[in-house]
Amino acid sequence: MEGYRRRLVLGRPELEAGLDALGRRLGPALEGRGATAVCILGGAVIFAADLVRRLPGDLRMDFLRIRTYGSGTAPGRPPVADWLPDRASVEGREILLLDDILDTGRTLQEARRLLLEDLGAASVRAVVLVDKPARRAVPIEADDAVLRLEEDLFLVGYGLDLDGRYRNLPELWALEPAAAGAAGDSA
């Protein structure tokens, strides 16, 4: 993470505890409901994989990819879906929509619209790893989250990336551009 100061936001124990608590909150509402978890690719893959193992066994899983980020630290274009879940996994079903972060809300808003209007979902429950309301640009809220972050931080790790890098870090880190001559890590 050269050129950035980094600060640990959530370590492994806190992530595990947050996922356990989220699984306990969601599990009873999904049991026997014929629900489908739809993971937004690629950032939510790690979060979704860890969460669905904590949920009832009759849960289906499918994927949706919506692109908004280029190579920077802010969304650079309107959300465009280029990978849709199979209609049979969505139509008439309760959907657990999983994403890594809810910041501007544009990706989640478009995903919800696609699932409900284009693919005929009965309902959509949006669940995110990180809810960051400071950056909200459209009126949408997550139904649940592991972490609600009031600070406007740029995050990497546990699925979140910077230009495709750092998704594989097992913790959640905040990155800030390092001042000239400053040390690279604050952790």
Pick the closest to residue 26 from 59, 1, 2 (CA basis).
59
Give the Cβ contact number of residue 162 at 10 Å.
19
- Which runs of consecutive H residues, i.e. helices, occur in 6-165? 12-30, 45-52, 87-90, 106-113
> What φ, ψ does residue 70 adopt, rounded to 5°?
-95, -125
**Does residue 103 have an active-site annotation?**
yes
C-alpha dist (Å) from residue 130 to 11, 14, 147, 184, 185:
14, 13, 5, 24, 22
Q: Out of 20, 103, 152, 161, which one is annotated catalytic?
A: 103
Give the Cβ contact number of residue 170 at 10 Å.
10
Residues in Cβ contact with 177 at an 8 Å cutoff, skipping those fewer than 6 apart: 3, 4, 5
Indicate which residues carry an active-site annotation: 103
